[in-house]
Every structure is written in C-alpha cells, then in structure tokens.
Amino acid sequence: MYTITLEVNQICNLECTYCYLREKTNQKMKEDIAYKGLEIAFLNAAKHKDKRLWVDFVGGEALISFAFLQKLVEYIEEQATKRKITVSYSITTNGTIMNDEILKWLINNSVHLKLSIDGFRETHDRNRKTKFGIGSYRNIMGNLNYFREYEERSKQFIQVAHVVTQNNYWEAFKSVKHLVEDLHFSIVDTSINVTHRWTVEQLDKLGWEWENILCYYIKRIESGRAFLWAPVLDLKKYGEESENSRFCGVGLIQTYVKVDGGIYGCAANLDSSGCLGDVERGVSVRKIKKYRELANKSTICLKCDILPKCQSCKCIMNNLAYSNQINGHNPDMCYFEKKKIDLWNKYDKKIR
C-alpha cells in the first residue's frame, strides 16, 4: 500500500502550542497541486502488489476546506475506478467542526476519523486553545453525539490522537483512562512531542506513566473490556524474530504533500531538510537512495546493543530534524526506547 498525506490547508480555528506546522501561512491547497500530488500517488500505488492507496487529509483544520475535500474525493474515486486502484481515506480533525452534512460525507465515503483530544478538560485546554485563548475541550464535547453516531453508523472506531508534551506528561495515564472510561473511545494513539528537548527526569516519569497505561491496558483485556492503545503495536515489534530493515520507507511507501506542493517524507520533518521534491518535478530518487544508504550509520547507533530492535533510529525524518544529519539520532528517544524495551521484556507474555 502507498500512503499520501495531503495538507489541504494551513488554516485553523485553534492555535495549539505544539502544532507541527508552527506558524501557519493561511494558504489553501490549489486543485492542480492536489491533482499532481495524487497522480504521483496513483503511479506509485500501481507499482505495489496490492494496488492500494491510502489518502490522508490534514490541515490546519482539514474540515475548514470541506467543499474542497468533497471535490477531491469525487476525483479520486473516478481515477481509482479507471486505474483499478483500491482507495481508503482518513482525516485528522480537532473535533470543533461538525454538522449533519459532514457526518454523512464521512460515513458515505468510509473516511477513517482521527480526533485530536489530549485528555481531561484541564489537560486538553492547556495546549489546544482557540485564537482567543479559550480551550477547545467544550467544543469537542458539543460534537460528541456526532462522533457517537459516526461510530454507530460507519461501524468504525474513531482513533483518538493523544499528544504527550512537557506540560502534561505526568498526566498521561489519567488522560488515557479518561478517554477510554469517560468518553468511551476504543482506539487511543498516544504520541510524544519530540520537537522539545526532554530531560532524563521527565522521561523517567513518562516511563512510569507508560507502564501504568500498559498495566491498565492488560487489565482491560483480561476483564473483557479491551481497547487498543496504539503504542502496544510498537512494543510487539520487539518480539519479531527477524531484524527489520532500518529504512523507514519515506518516499517509497509514503509521502506528505504540503499546501504549496512540496513533497516531504512525513510530518516528522517539514523543514527544508525533509523535502524530497515537489509535485512538478516529482520525488528525488537520489535523495531517497542517499537516505537509504546512510540510515542508521551513526557511530553511536552502531555501538548500541539495542540497535537490532530499536525503532526510534528508523525514523529518519525525526533524526534529521533533531541533528541535521541523515545518520544522526535523537538521544531523548534513544533513552525512552530503552525504557520501552524494558517494558516489553517485563510484560511480553501478557501482550503478545
């Protein structure tokens, strides 16, 4: 499967403190840029054995460009039929924009919904505020009935995007528990904001939070009330017997197209160092080849005893953003990687 992420706009009704776009340009993606990016995606999907294409819509707030999204999906469906490509869709939203028309469109097109929410109201509102400094938790709760109806009618669970930052990491377990028990979400994708520099003390505390969440996850399974905590999928990779390639596949199986037509490996690095080309000229094969050759050739990584199982070292774009070197590494994530491996060794029999 080939995945393309389309940044349909850089417009948002929120000003989240950890937004990966930083200063947004208030631009909207033009049709010709979207079509050229999709052409590249279709050509790559056709090379894959399963001939599958995953289209992920992001912003800004993607639903601000709802009319554009409708037009794009109509175009994609026409092209997919002609080319005999199977297409799936996903969209990431801050949950503040929803109505009957949007709900119907999401369901009719089987769009997988990713909802950004960070936990309790106080925790969430600390980072996810409107332009007037007001927290957005209440807005999401006002749309909760739409999200319940979406799950009921689409038969698809909403994936909650829960971000752990330096001003909420000590509440990670409480946040996950709130999302599962109080808001009744079944998929929680917890991720760490890697754009900031973490201290050892913070990562140690976060390691305890990770273990508490993992124990909670195990207890829910054992009591017949299972939910999916996405980091468990990463933990399970430590149990794979064969050593995986240490190249993440950026440019080959996935690309991120910015609103201006620039093509990047993924959202982990949207600076110039992460640019692989543009929709006019395509992706630079030379650059991808260079990434593949130099990935994880760091002297530090080569001397590390967890290298065969390490997952953070595979994230070329994150390492590049942190160190400005293709064969660099992020020491914060290295430290936390060892904590995750310890968790796998301790609980592997219960989560296999």
Average pLDDT value for residue range 32-53: 96
What are the two backbone dihedrals, phi and then psi, of residue 171, each rounded to the nearest 5 degrees?
A: -110, 15
**Interval 72-99: pLDDT, tens:** 999 999 999 999 999 999 999 999 999 9
Does the pLDDT value for residue 118 go beyond 80?
Answer: yes
Longest distance between any two alpha carbons in the chain, whole Å: 56
Question: In this structure, what token pair is assigned to residue 13?
Answer: 């009704």
pTM of the complete model? 0.93
Average pLDDT value for residue range 191-209: 94
Q: How confident is the model at residue 27 (pLDDT cuts 50, 70, 90)?
A: very high
For the domain spanning 2-237, the CATH number is 3.20.20.70
Q: What pLDDT score does 288 carry?
A: 83
CATH 3.20.20.70 intervals, the chain: 2-237
Average pLDDT value for residue range 11-32: 94
Q: What pLDDT score does 243 carry?
A: 52
The rounded distance, in Å, linking the Cα atoms of 310 and 330 is 12
Q: What pLDDT score does 196 carry?
A: 84
Q: How confident is the model at residue 329 (pLDDT cuts 50, 70, 90)?
A: confident
Q: What pLDDT score does 246 carry?
A: 60
The rounded distance, in Å, linking the Cα atoms of 58 and 25 is 15
* Burial bucket for residue 106 (CB in 10 Å: 0-12, 13-18, 19+): buried
List 115's β-bridge partners, or say none.
93, 160
Indicate the average pLDDT of the chain. Answer: 92
The rounded distance, in Å, linking the Cα atoms of 284 and 278 is 9
The rounded distance, in Å, linking the Cα atoms of 132 and 303 is 50
Q: What pLDDT score does 294 carry?
A: 63
Does the pLDDT value for residue 248 go beyond 80?
Answer: no
Q: How confident is the model at residue 311 (pLDDT cuts 50, 70, 90)?
A: confident
